[in-house]
Chains A and B, each alone.
Chain A
Amino acid sequence: MTEFAQDTVKPNADNPSAPAVLHWLPAAFLLGVVAVGAVLTVLTPTVRQWPQGKDVVTGEAMLTYEKENLDARVPWRDASVNLWGGLNARLFGEARDGALIGKEGWLFTSEEYQTSAEDAAEIQGKLAYIQEVRDELKKDGAQLVVALIPSKARVYADQTKAKVPAQTAPLYQSFRADLQKAGIPAPDLLTAFERAKTEDLFFRTDTHWTPTGAQVAAQAIAPVVTELGLDLPAAEYAAQTQPEVSRAGDLTRYVPGDNLVDDVSPITYERTDEGGGGLFGDESIAVTLVGTSYSAETKDNVWHFDGALAAALGTEVLNMAREGKGPIVPMREYLTSPERKDNPAQVVVWEIPERFLRVQYGD
């Protein structure tokens, strides 16, 4: 007998011996589903639009059409996401790729669990870049303070179901120690958070910190800035707690259909003294904040870290943070910005979430 298969064509492939219902039902069902799907698809406006400026010869136009005009817009996409997301959440306690479900309604971004063999090299690269930034800022006479935000999964490890990889266990303290060794002040936000964690410092349904978390961080940063012995222009702030609102965090999109929310009372900060020249006024701003969505002024930002920092430092803060770009890109942008040229800072507080230390940003 041969070692390899022989071609075989089954003689009764069309199954004439099968029950009558099998002679028509699968065909009718498949045709029905395809027909309904085709009609719904064709009725979708984007499906009738061909992407402009994309090359047909190399398949670029077809790929764009398929992924952006069709797959992302089929009318049953949201229902499908909700159905499978809901099934996985209810049956298996799972979020979609990108998040993990913890205990008691806590959600965590999977970025805080990710590891790779290249992490150590990338983290060392980040350290080197931070030192470059420190040297660059020195040219203006500005000092750098790094506000390293510990990961939510680290602070609330007791609320996670999955174990945070051992590879990342010493990361926060070892990176902070490396910064200090390099002469870059870096307040111990992890210890500050551990002490204050009886209150929610991070939203349960969001990647970001709560107004309280932002306040705790600002208060831990302030003494470190004070120790620099700078003469910062004084400013007074009043914190005002706003009425409580329900807020669905950014991680809820990974758990469709569960309607998880956080109740939060946003804190806003208003300057109460007579100063406040601002960037284009007479008064210069001595502290610049650079960072990520934990600091950026966006519509979803209810934590107002820049306000908390200004209040804790007792001086105005120029906010140069950007959402969705990580910590490196906003710093690159700041270093070449007119704001740096027109309003050289005495202190630059660079907010860097721990989870971004391993992320590669390219050149």
Chain B
Amino acid sequence: MVFSSNVFLFLFLPIFLIVYYLLPFKGRSAWILIGSYALYAWWRLDFLWLLVAITGVAYLYGLILEKQPDGARRRWTLISAIVLNLGALAYFKYANFGIDSFNAVTQSFGLQPFSWTPILLPIGLSFFIFHAISYIVDVYRREEKATHNPLDFAAFIALFPHLIAGPVLKYNLLADQFRSRTHTMEKFSYGATRFMTGFAKKVLIADSIAPLVTATFNQPNPTMADAWLGALAYTLQLYFDFSGYSDMAIGLAAMMGFKFPENFNHPYISRSITEFWRRWHMSLSSWLREYLYISLGGNRYGRARTYLNLWLTMVLGGLWHGANWTFVLWGVWHGSILAVERRMKEASLWKPSPAWLTIPGTMILVIIGWVMFRADSVPDAFRMYRGMLGLNGVSLSDTLAWQVKPSVLVSMVLGGLLVYLAPYWGSRVGDVGSRLLRPRLAVGATVVLLPLFVLAIMKLSAQSYTPFLYFQF
């Protein structure tokens, strides 16, 4: 069940909110758990056991780790917990990929492929396993006490606003909120604003651009205009799809009195890839820094090791996004640039440059990466790169031209304007959620948002099913 669907908006949400607000605080965690499990089971009932099992294992490991004294045995307990979680992730997410890659190698030597029934990837698996690992590691590091409240813990792991596509949250960010949080009309209104904003972003912009992205990435020999148009379209689609989802998640959480961390901070105005990763999918970046980069040694073992750790973090982060060599290469791309930028900074080669140069420069690097991220396979990505280099001609191909609709171009232009005007707007008016500097402008924006939300609902009903891009992860 996706947030931008009739079943969520008009059946799940009203029932959930009515019961939630009728219950006393003590009963709300249980209701969150029931609602979240119901939302998950709507996809497939038979995979609910995996969510329950991951939750149970993490809870038990938390209790064990808390009681164990520091030492080798405790370390092995942690390792076994991580292996168990990553084992589940590896089996469901990477087994098909591993076998396919193995078969590709064996077949190239003329050997028989290994017979294999493909495994279905449970939705949200990467997210709830990351949530579980963060909890276990926090308890191991004694940064967080193990919870003795299985209900609150299960509700944290399953909390439906972040269950399926994030944000990736640490338990300590929400632990206190499960014990105590306030419910006010102001907070609910803030949540409603964020939810409606995210809904409009997803349905009115991302979904409008989606057909052009599909058309361009399906071009067998894209020209330079085809490939760049497709790459730009995907750059905008992904941003409005995922940041729209994050807005909806943050909004829904706020309607229940929770405060979620921000997940995006105007990433496309970044002036380096290093800055981009401080602004894009911030909850994942934070998780990678906290549990992967630091665990690999961070910058504690010299320069060369730091560069390697940066690179490895991004490669593994890429692989986390999906079991495909495209994601690995996307991670290699970002990891390599991060390492180079770090080296340049340390060698004092990084000179302050004007924004008109660094922002487009960074965007080109980001867009090149997104092509690999979006392509179905590595050869498909290189097909697009050949097009971007103009090796298949320059002007728009007539196989694509008829699919370039004016409404899509208008959506792209509006999306582009929003991407670059929103930071300016935020600095003048105050981002939603921060202190408002120009209250009248904020009221005006809200008044514009309300009919847009209704228009978005009507567009949702007029179009076919469009899942969120991040659901595949």
Contacts and interface: CB of A to CB of B under 8 A. Distances in A.
Interface of A: 2-10, 12-19, 21-27, 29-31, 33-35, 37-38, 40-42, 56-59, 62, 65-67, 70-71, 74, 76-77, 79-81, 83-85, 88, 91-94, 97, 100, 110, 113, 115-117, 162-167
B260 A70 contact: no
Contact of B189 (A8, A23, A93): A23
B458 interface: yes
Interface stretch (B25-33, B412-420, B442-450): B442-450
22 contacts: A4-B277, A5-B277, A5-B286, A9-B260, A13-B187, A13-B254, A16-B186, A17-B435, A22-B446, A25-B450, A27-B185, A29-B450, A29-B453, A37-B10, A57-B45, A58-B46, A65-B7, A71-B6, A79-B458, A115-B399, A162-B402, A165-B402
A223 to B, nearest CB: 35
Nearest to B47: A59
Contact of B192 (A2, A10, A26): A26
A74 B9 CA distance: 12
B190 interface: yes
A9 B1 CA distance: 27
B36 interface: no
A57 B46 contact: yes
A93 to B, nearest CB: 7
A80 B460 CA distance: 8
A9 B261 contact: yes
Interface stretch (B104-112, B320-328, B369-377, B403-411): B403-411
Nearest to A161: B402
Interface in B40-96: 42-46
Contacts of A23: 185-186, 189
Nearest to A96: B462
B282 A5 contact: yes
A3 B398 contact: no
Contact of B196 (A30, A41, A42, A164): A30
Contacts of B286: 4-7
A105 to B, nearest CB: 19
A113 B404 CA distance: 13
Contacts of A16: 186
Contacts of B355: none
Given A27-B185, A80-B462, A165-B399, A5 B6 contact: no
B213 interface: no
B189 A27 contact: yes
B308 to A, nearest CB: 13
Contacts of A6: 282, 286, 289
B283 A7 contact: yes
B439 interface: yes
Contacts of A58: 44-46
Contact of A15 (B5, B190, B211, B283): B190
B11 interface: yes
A335 to B, nearest CB: 34
Contacts of A30: 192, 195-196, 453
Given A3-B310, A56-B45, A84 B190 contact: no
A100 B402 contact: yes
B420 to A, nearest CB: 20
Given A15-B190, A25-B446, A3 B436 contact: no
A234 to B, nearest CB: 47
A103 to B, nearest CB: 14
Interface string B418-459: 000000000000001111100110110010011001100111
Contact of B6 (A41, A85, A167): A41
A33 B220 CA distance: 44
B391 interface: no
In order of increasing CB-CB distance, the 6 nearest A-B pairs are A162-B402, A4-B289, A5-B282, A14-B187, A117-B220, A80-B458
A26 B196 contact: yes
A8 B261 contact: yes
A125 to B, nearest CB: 18
B192 A29 contact: yes
A24 B446 CA distance: 11
A41 B285 CA distance: 40
Contacts of B102: none
Contacts of A10: 259, 262, 433-434
B465 A67 contact: yes
B13 interface: yes
A168 to B, nearest CB: 9
Which of A9, A57, A81 has the most chain B CB within a 10 Å cutoff? A9
Given A57-B44, A62-B42, A33 B454 contact: yes
Interface in B280-322: 282-283, 285-286, 288-289, 293, 310, 313
